[in-house]
């Protein structure tokens, strides 16, 4: 249906040209509810770990142009109609790269594996990190479990107060200018 490896080869240089790190490229059912597919691209500004709307729009334009050029040259990258979705990974981000497991050590994560490690395929607990290609997590039930990075089917951070506190806010300028409506406040 879609050549994710080839799409990633096209998309990554476009993200890097804007100073962004590519987090994930994935085909998935569209959130538009129309039965179609979406090409989801997650990227981050390495200085903030996130993207703002203008950055998403800039990356979307570059990626769209790159895909159009490749398809005009005869490549079939995605069969059928699709939506292009460019986003920031968010606070409870997917963990897709080895550096994610190092950067987010000490935080709670959910990890699903392609095969069992210490008798478990689904793990949830505090991420210890990665050493070489071995990831370690202290699972809530199984205790400390280590497994090869290439056994990971999917992984993401769990939204916790600690994670929220550790995440850099994108832009708080103008926050001091927010004025609450006293009438609405009194009515609640």
CA 24 to chain centre: 6
**Separation CA 6–CA 75 (nearest Å):** 10
Q: Is 41 helix (H, G, I), strand (E, B) or coil?
A: strand
DSSP 26: E
pLDDT tens track for 17-26: 999 999 999 9
Please compute the mean of the pLDDT values over residues 18-47 and round it to a whole number: 89
Question: Percent helix, strand, coil in the chain (nearest 5)?
Answer: 30, 35, 35
pTM for the structure as a whole: 0.79
Collect all residues with Cβ–Cβ distance below 8 Å to 109 and sequence separation of at least 6: 95, 124, 125, 126, 127, 137, 155, 156, 157, 158
**Separation CA 125–CA 95 (nearest Å):** 14
**Separation CA 70–CA 92 (nearest Å):** 33
DSSP 169: P
- What the chain holds in terms of domains, given with CATH numbers, is 4-87 (3.30.300.70), 98-166 (2.30.30.180)
**Separation CA 119–CA 57 (nearest Å):** 44
Residue 81 banded pLDDT, cuts 50, 70, 90: confident
Identify the residue whose tokens are 């699903």: 112
The H or E element that residue 122 is part of is strand 120-131
Residue 168 banded pLDDT, cuts 50, 70, 90: low
Q: Please state, for a pLDDT cut of 90, what percent of the chain lies above it.
A: 72
User: Average pLDDT over the chain, rounded to whole?
Assistant: 88
DSSP class per residue in 131-154: ETTEEEEEETTTEEEEEEGGGEEE
């Amino acid at each position: 249906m879609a050549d994710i490896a080839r799409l990633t080869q096209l998309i990554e240089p476009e993200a890097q040209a804007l100073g962004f790190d590519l987090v994930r490229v994935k085909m998935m059912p569209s959130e538009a509810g129309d039965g179609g597919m979406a090409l989801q691209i997650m990227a981050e500004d390495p200085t903030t770990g996130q993207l703002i709307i203008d950055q998403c729009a800039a990356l979307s334009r570059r990626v769209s142009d790159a895909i159009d050029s490749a398809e005009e040259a005869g490549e079939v990258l995605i069969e059928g109609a699709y939506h292009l979705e460019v986003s920031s990974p968010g606070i409870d981000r997917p963990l897709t790269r080895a550096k994610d497991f190092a950067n987010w050590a000490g935080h709670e994560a959910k990890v699903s594996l392609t095969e069992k490690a210490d008798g478990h395929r689904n793990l949830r607990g505090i991420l210890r990190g990665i050493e070489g290609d071995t990831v370690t997590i202290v699972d809530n039930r199984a205790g400390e479990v280590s497994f090869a990075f290439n056994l990971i089917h999917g992984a993401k951070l769990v939204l916790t107060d600690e994670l929220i506190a550790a995440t850099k806010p994108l832009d708080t300028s103008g926050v001091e200018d927010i004025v609450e409506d006293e009438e609405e406040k009194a009515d609640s």
